[in-house]
Amino acid sequence: MSKAATESYGGGPLTTYSEDEQMFRASVREFAEGEIRPRVEEMDEHAKMSPDVIKHLFDLGLMGVETPEEYGGAGASFFTAIIGVEELSRVDPSVGVLMDVQNTLVNNALIRWGNTEQKKKYLPRLATDTVGAYALSEAGSGSDAFAMQTRAVERGDHYELTGQKLWITNGNEAGVFIVFANANPEAGYRGITAFVVEKGFEGFAVGKKENKLGIRASSTTEIILDGCKVPKENVLGEAGRGYKVSIETLNEGRIGIGAQMIGLARGALEHALRYTAERTQFKQPINQFQAVQFQLAEMATELEAARLMVYNAARMKDAGLPFVKEAAMAKLYSSRVAEKVASKAIELYGGYGFVKDYPVEKLWRDSKIGAIYEGTSNMQLQTIAKLIIGK
């Protein structure tokens, strides 16, 4: 992209960022361009995250953005983490979601619900060298997450967890998992309890890795719990409060997915701007045709609207304001915009957009998951409707 195009598109009003946030964005972008972009095609083709990329994420402090400094993290804001997810996703949404799950789900769950000993034990590891994962979904409990069948049985000084979890992001790389199981099925969702489970615990195994349409470098696996022994001190929050842990953590996670989607859309738009400036037809660049200009303008406008919605939700979260409705709106709209912008980028590339030699088809494949995970679009609509109607 030309310097003028980069500056004119820019990425939002600079007045919304502090100097530290601007510097952070620049450093993450430099890393993404230098270390991730050369690996994107290979990681997608082989459906495997580069260990070097993961190491760099830790080395740069991107895996513990909100984690307090006393536990080895950066002690920065939620909004800062959102900037990081956006910038990584601009180059590869697979890397963006790895950072997102680590920060907005796993770390946040421990920061908010963990006791002092749990924080001391796990947060330093998660900030320096251990990937985390969040295990809630099951075969029969997707949108109805509280229909889970995984059980936790108290056995003296520990619990035994039995069941199967599906669609676990970071499953192959993770060493620590936030796992949800029902310790009192008769109490319904009030029996659900959150546990901190280590990969090496007896009875724990990572199962099948899914062969996915998009975000292929991000591992998505099943988790098998066969009488998995979890010490009682690894109950996160308290027994029977897992439903609250999951709901409140996922509300924040949806903003993270929104950041992934706007980063993806931004990458697709930048590719489209570059290509339409270089591609000539009828002796002029195709971006000189009004039909193309109008499509680019629509893409940029919808992306900017989505970005402002994501940023607003993140700022509200940092300010301690109610943000559930705004998070749902941001995820709903940003996932739609990402899919639309990536699709339009393919069309602007013409035949080249349909082949893997060019980058936009991958971004379109990656975009589809935005309407599915961490709450489908229909579930976001339901949340929004309840909150605006007041029931």
Burial of 84 (0-12, 13-18, 19+ CB in 10 A): buried
Which residues does 320 contact at the CB level (< 8 Å), separation at least 6?
A: none
Single-letter residue type at 186: E
Quick check: is 374 catalytic? yes
Residues 261, 310: Cα–Cα separation, whole Å? 10
- Tokens for 40, please give them: 């994107």
Q: Do the Cβ atoms of 216 and 94 come closer than 8 Å?
A: yes
Q: Do the Cβ atoms of 287 and 276 come closer than 8 Å?
A: yes
| Residue corresponding to tokens 């008769």 | 186
Residue 223: CB atoms within 10 A of its CB come to: 27
How far from chain centre, in Å, is Cα 170? Answer: 11
Residue 343: CB atoms within 10 A of its CB come to: 17
Distances (CA, A) of 201 to 139, 149, 197, 230: 23, 20, 7, 7
End-to-end CA distance of the chain: 48
- Tokens for 208, please give them: 């099948």
- Tokens for 315, please give them: 């700022």
Q: Do the Cβ atoms of 335 and 367 come closer than 8 Å?
A: yes
The catalytically annotated residue of 86, 160, 252, 374 is: 374
How far from chain centre, in Å, is Cα 240? Answer: 27
Give the catalytic positions in this structure: 374
